[in-house]
Amino acid sequence: MVSGPVLDEKAYVRGGAAQTAVKILIVGHFAVGKTTFVGTMSEIPPLSTEETMTQAGEEIDDLKGVRGKTTTTVAMDFGRLTISDHVVLYLFGTPGQQRFVQMWEDMARGALGALVLVDPERLADSFAVIDLIEQYGLAYAIAVNHFDGTPIRGEEALREALDLLPDTPVVTCDARDENSSASALITLVHYLQDRAR
């Protein structure tokens, strides 16, 4: 009988302290930076299910507007971030392709909210993602992930283009930058706290 490593509470909770686990989804369309975001924010080595893209996927995955993409998430990304002695965030990054959408429903169970990553050059690709998150009844914030050379759009233009409610938070970030990504997560957490009051 082969068994995996035995992980006690201390493997997941710093110092074994009593903490509240908060499940947050990191969602977005294909190639928007979800894996990078989870990797940037996780205090543990993130679980990543990135696989090399093959010729079989060329007709399925739309690479238009995507520069240098050679891998894709085939299940999920997972990371952890302790934000206080009492609260730890569990970050679940969803795959972006339409063929993996069935997994989203399972991943959405128990989630308190979602951070929706958006590429300012491919805003239309975010419509289906936002529709799904709203269908699951999750509160969400929008984080516009600015890649090198992408145009900076004003918040009002983004709100109009994405047809957002006035209270939906909109922030900009760079998924590669820890401070920028942390700011986006903090915005979402504050929004969730305000809704819970």
CA distance 51 to 73: 6
SS3 3: coil
Helix, strand, or coil here: 114? strand
Q: What is the pLDDT of residues 121-133, one digit of tens each?
A: 889 999 999 999 9
**What does the alpha-carbon distance between residue 141 and residue 115 come to, in Å, rounded to a whole number?**
5
Each residue's pLDDT tens digit, 62-88: 555 555 555 555 457 899 999 888 889
Q: Which domains does the chain have, with CATH numbers?
A: 18-196 (3.40.50.300)
* Predicted structure pTM score: 0.78
Summarised one tens digit per residue, pLDDT across range 29-52 is 888 999 999 999 999 988 776 656
